[in-house]
Structure 1
Amino acid sequence: MWLLKVLVPLVRLYLCGMKVLLYQLFNRSFPLPVLPKQNGRVAIVTGGTRGMGLETARHLASLGMHVIIAGNETEEGAAAVRKIHEDGCEGKVEFIFVDLTSLKSVQQFAQTFRARGLPLHVLVNNAGTMLVPERQTVDGFEFHFCLNYLSHFLLTNLLLDILKRSGRRGCCSRIVNMSSATHYAGVMDMEDLNRRMCYSSHGAYSQSKLGLVLFTYYLQEQLTAGGFPVTVNAVDPGMVDTALYDNLWTLAQMLKKPVAKTLFRTPAEGASTAVYTAAASEMEGVGGCYLYNGQKTQSSDLSYDSELQAELWKKSCELVGLQEA
């Protein structure tokens, strides 16, 4: 039984990966259209020091946005800011520290941002980790669950009032959650969200990405019901050649290298759908969607389960110490 619980999520995840690779073999990456200038708008991009996060921050800054890169590597953050400035971007770029494996750090980041008195028009929940060995965060949460999902859930809720105030009809604030095709393989075990009964890094990763989609749909329903000028969407970047794959098994790493050169997207290509969702005129007022390769796509059947969405929201509020709205 234990072996089955480990093997099933592994097989399901790699089958998802094969499906994505086949798609990428026969379909070119989404080309970004010309996007409108974003002068005067403020964005936060988590995990913006490298990979897709850096490319997202770079592109938003090139449109004139004031971009705040949120990450846990101060030197890497300073280097990312310099790199974007050297590209001659029109917007302001800065780095603020946050450790998404610590709820206290997330709260401190939110307090730091609030103290600046800035508006917030775009929040890109991009940071993530994949297939790390079993470990717990300082708060006792499973690593993938906390970093990929729970901390972004908390951050979004702590900044939600600013997003609501910053948006207006015809010019909504936007939340972009970086999910993954692996969410199709995800199972949300509400009795064991920390995967302590039977750990599988593949299952934990898939669960965290499914959590982001469930969160996206539930939050959009709340925002729509309240008439707030904020939209939230989940995006799937495809398979992208980034450091996320550093935790693959040795054999998988060997197989990945030649495949990545021909079939994986570049970080800039992987970021394109997130940038499009954050800034395109076509996405104005559009929320509650799952986008892949620039197109609205059906997410997993499980992700549309409204009871599961509500249950996860309630449980997440309990875990991070928020009063349920």
Structure 2
Amino acid sequence: MFAVFFSYLLPIIKLYLLGLKVLLVQLFSGPFRLPVMPRQDGKVAIVTGGGRGIGFEVARHMARLGAHVIIGGRDEQEGLAAVTRICEESKEAKVEFKKLDLASLQSVRQFVQSFKERDLPLNILVNNAGVMLVPESRTEDGFEQHFGVNYLGHFLLTWLLLDTLKHSGKCGYFSRVVSVSSSAHRVGEITLNDLNGCQYYSAHAAYCRSKLAQLLFSSHLHQLLQRGGFPVTSCAVDPGMVDTGLYRHLWTPLRLAQSIIAHLLFWTPAEGAATVLYAALSPDLEGDCGGGYWATGRREMTTPATFDPQLQLSLWDATQRLLGLQ
């Protein structure tokens, strides 16, 4: 009984202490201001979860710069409303919505198949969609919800689009994979024989685990691409604590407190999107300068586990087996 209680309580304490630290840093450092980015005419970008929050701001900014933006999301009404809003703000914007449910591997495959049938290039993939602190539940394929949506869905999406990303990149204009992670990865733990978190469920531990897995994936992918000499980079971004709907599953009293604190201390979605856009668009991150973990507009060091080559490889192999990939 004590072990169950401890495994449930400890991740909560770790995550909220980390959140307090992040808030203090944000209070004194201020948000990153995105420099003027070059035009993106002729480039194609996919942004998951682009119907609202950080993803919407990323999609909107890219469309303003001339990119052809495809918003992938589960909520069709929300996605179409986002497209309408972007087009109203910029009459020449080229943006569209396509159905993509990251909790369904079949939906991910259908999205990719539909995209490839159009024979479009793919210059930027922003793995932004995510869930946080959801009650215990399973995806369509039986995976724990955080692990399935935040990590497995994006792993499969990236894997299936990798050939298009490779063919679309070239020297001086590398394709880019940007995964929106979180500082929560710092208190996450990967247990290879219990990736689904079945033994003792904790929404807080599951969220942190999924973000650590996402970061390990991003780092290992970048190394594979570099070793293969492909014109594609992969990096992860921490947008900071941002005032979005991601916190709606907090315990009710905490959610009420969070709504007040968020108004005072959290960053806006546009401010949270700044480093994501920098990682996706900046000429300063071209080629060998890409990759890594980014926060507030600069590359940062993170936990030793993130750089553990054996853990990266073991997770990668285990994930391929879970997804039935070669």
TM-score range, shorter chain: over 0.9
Question: Partner residue of 2:297?
Answer: 294
Partners of 1:138 and 1:172 lie apart in 2 by 34
Note the 1:232-243 alignment, pairs <5 A. 232-243=234-245
Matching residue within 281, 305, 308 for 1:305: 308
CA contact (8 A) 1:65 1:92 kept: yes
Aligned residues: 323
Q: List runs of 5+ in structure 2 lacking aligned partners.
A: none
The one-letter code of the counterpart of 1:101 is A
**Deviation per residue, 1:274-313 (Å, 9 max, x gap):** 0111111111112331000111011221111110000010
SS at match of 2:117: helix
Partners of 1:184 and 1:114 lie apart in 2 by 36
Partners of 2:106 and 2:302 lie apart in 1 by 32
Question: Partner residue of 1:225?
Answer: 227
Matching residue within 249, 252, 260 for 1:250: 252
The one-letter code of the counterpart of 2:5 is L
Question: Partner residue of 1:317?
Answer: 320
CA contact (8 A) 1:44 1:68 kept: yes
**Deviation per residue, 1:186-225 (Å, 9 max, x gap):** 0011111111100000000000000111001110110000
Partners of 2:291 and 2:217 lie apart in 1 by 10
**Deviation per residue, 1:4-60 (Å, 9 max, x gap):** 111111111111111110011111100000100000000000000011000000001
CA contact (8 A) 1:64 1:89 kept: no
Note the 1:85-124 alignment, pairs <5 A. 85-88=87-90, 90-124=92-126
- Which consecutive aligned stretches of 4+ in structure 1 deviate over 6 angstroms post-superposition? none
CA contact (8 A) 2:86 2:93 kept: no
Query: Which stretch of structure 1 is more off in the superposition, 290-299 or 88-97?
Result: 88-97
SS at match of 1:29: coil
Partners of 1:19 and 1:287 lie apart in 2 by 27
Q: CA RMSD in A?
A: 0.8
Percent identical residues: 53
Question: Partner residue of 1:197?
Answer: 199
Partners of 1:47 and 1:223 lie apart in 2 by 25
Matching residue within 11, 26, 48 for 1:46: 48
Partners of 2:293 and 2:223 lie apart in 1 by 14
Partners of 1:70 and 1:292 lie apart in 2 by 24
Note the 1:108-147 alignment, pairs <5 A. 108-147=110-149
SS at match of 1:191: helix
The one-letter code of the counterpart of 2:41 is N
Partners of 1:215 and 1:287 lie apart in 2 by 15
What's the CA shift for 1:250? 1.3
Partners of 1:34 and 1:8 lie apart in 2 by 43
SS at match of 1:38: coil
Partners of 1:241 and 1:125 lie apart in 2 by 19
Q: TM-score, normalised by structure 2?
A: 0.98
**Deviation per residue, 1:58-116 (Å, 9 max, x gap):** 00111100000000111111111000001116441001101110001100100000001
- Taking structure 1 as reference, are residues 288 and 194 closer, same or farther at Cα in structure 2, changes over 3 Å only? same
Q: TM-score, normalised by structure 1?
A: 0.98
